[in-house]
Amino acid sequence: PAPPLVARRLVGRHVIVTSGPTHEPIDPVRYIANRSSGAQGTAIAAALRDMGARVSFVTGPAEVPPPEGVEVIAVQTAQEMHDAVKAALPADVAVMAAAVADWHVSNAQGQKIKKDAEGHAPSLQFAENPDILAWIGHLTQDRPALVVGFAAETNDVVPHATAKRLRKGADWIVANDVSPATGIMGGSENAVTLISDAGADAWPRMGKDQVARRLADRIADTLEEM
Ligand code: CTP
Ligand code: CA
């Protein structure tokens, strides 16, 4: 079947999308990471592209391949993702869908850590990563007109996401309940609540592609109203 016709309402707009996990090295062969397939961020980038936007797609090592027809900037760590987002500015819109690792290993080793003869496990030390969403949300120069973050929560979804929206200076937070009972993590569907200054709008459970198209439509509506 022919692809559905999409109104190219985002021609001339530049959107930055972050997606996937970040990998934070422990040594050359080991890392820590979040669980994230990259499916939702990839679907959002594709939906924005279909509407005619120029998309800078800053992605960590995701399971799903990046969409075609976007500029792919592949990164590993949160710091690299931060640098890539900075380099991609200015933009009309930023959608931060990546599952960024909150910490990196501050005592990462340049050589593979070997087991020692006495069976002592190594100690890892952690340091906080830059918060890319909070950084872009609070920019005073070159802040995108619309900054959209995500919040994956396992409990008290709306209060946590509402607090995140304010703390990070985001216009919208796309909140989702990732508690294991929902089966959403790693699946093809999502049930999200869009948090904005107008309050919380709970969308019905739908495919990640449909969530992406609906979000892209809302983005186009909002840019047209500005
Ligand atoms: N985010 C980011 N950079 C980070 C951490 C998070 O850009 N270092 C972004 C994510 O891409 C997402 C939003 O911030 O859009 C919320 O991420 P989340 O992990 O839910 O928020 P945190 O502030 O890290 O809070 P928590 O303690 O719940 O993990
Ligand atoms: Ca986090």
pLDDT digits 0-9 by tens, 125-135: 999 999 999 99
Q: What is the DSSP letter of 180?
A: G
Ligand approaching nearest to the C-alpha of 22: 1
Architecture of domain 14-109+125-225: 3-Layer(aba) Sandwich (3.40)
Q: Does the pLDDT at position 189 exceed 90?
A: no
Quick: pLDDT tens for 27-83: 999 999 998 999 999 999 999 999 999 999 999 999 999 999 999 999 999 999 999
Give the predicted TM-score (pTM) of the model.
0.95
**CB under 8 Å to 62, separation ≥6 — which residues?**
19, 20, 21, 36, 37, 38, 39, 41, 42
Q: Which pLDDT value is given to residue 2?
A: 66
pLDDT (average), residues 203-223: 96
As for ligand 1, residues whose beta carbon falls within 6 Å of it are 18, 78, 96, 98, 100, 102, 129-133, 149-152, 164
Output the pLDDT for position 88. 98
Measured from the alpha carbon of residue 100, the closest ligand is 1
Q: Which tokens in the block code for residue 66?
A: 């990046």
pLDDT in tens, 70-122: 999 999 999 999 999 999 999 999 999 999 999 999 999 999 999 999 999 99
| ipTM (interface pTM) | 0.98
